[in-house]
Amino acid sequence: MTRLFDVGKIGLTCDAVVHSTEKRKDGEVKVIVLTLRVQPFDAKLATALHPDVRTTLFKLSHPDPHPHLARVNFSLGVPRQALEIYATPETAKATMRLDHVKVTGIYARTEKGVTGYACVLKATFGPVSDKELGFVEAWRNGMKFVSFDEAEPSADFQDEEPDDEDDDQPELPVAEFETDVNGQPLELATAADRVNRPLHSHQRRRGAKKATKKGRR
């Protein structure tokens, strides 16, 4: 079983509640996307999330953060989770259980005037009952304490691949000298394509210079 955090009752602040849709085997389903934040996010919690997260964010010999990091995105391939949510760390009985929650967009960031990191993630689940909707709205801008477990297998998500893409991160453009005139990466072009492909402007200039030198000879 793969848990998001290997410790129980993590304090999570809900920064946003967004209505969305999610594609599943039987079509699109209305879902809720929560933006959840763990802050402060120390070396102990980083280890509980994943050992590689701890080594990336903190010094090996001391639990101090690396001073040169501002934000780090993590792709951890987390399976859908079941969240047991408690009002306080001492509460014995969970107030709410959210099942088959998709966890994506995990990143750690620093904040001006605040020591250490915050860990932010998106939690998507649904369809949502009236009780669950009221609960997460009451959670918004507040803190609850959450334990994670891997959700039981479900036919609705049988063919789903874990997805840790962060929608806030723009795609970087491919470098100019690594594409053909149609904008396709050179490594995807066939040998024939490379022979027949029109030259870039910088290639034409280079060819013109060579022709000029031959003419002078």
What CA–CA distance (Å, rounded) separates 28 from 195?
Answer: 45
- Say whether 51 sits in a helix, a strand or coil: helix
In a domain, 112, yes or no: yes
Question: Cα–Cα distances in Å, from 110 out to 82, 173, 189?
Answer: 28, 26, 41
Q: Which amino acid is at 18?
A: V
In a domain, 23, yes or no: yes
Quote the pLDDT of residue 177: 38
Residues 64, 108: one domain? yes
Q: 1 pLDDT band (50/70/90 cuts)?
A: low
If you average pLDDT over each of 23-37, 56-70, 80-94, 177-191, which comes out highest?
80-94
Q: 196 pLDDT band (50/70/90 cuts)?
A: very low
In a domain, 127, yes or no: yes
Residue 182 has which token pair?
A: 């149609």
In a domain, 184, yes or no: yes
Residues 152, 191: one domain? no
Residues 47, 115: one domain? yes
In a domain, 1, yes or no: no
Quote the pLDDT of residue 155: 75
Which residue range is the domain that position 189 belongs to? 176-216
Mean pLDDT over the full length of the chain? 80
Residues 150, 184: one domain? no
Q: 156 pLDDT band (50/70/90 cuts)?
A: confident
In a domain, 165, yes or no: no
How many domains, the chain?
Answer: 2
Q: Which amino acid is at 65?
A: P
In a domain, 113, yes or no: yes
pLDDT tens column, 100-131 = 999 999 999 998 888 899 999 999 999 999 99
Residues 43, 98: one domain? yes
Residues 186, 152: one domain? no
What CA–CA distance (Å, rounded) separates 148 from 92?
Answer: 15
In a domain, 133, yes or no: yes
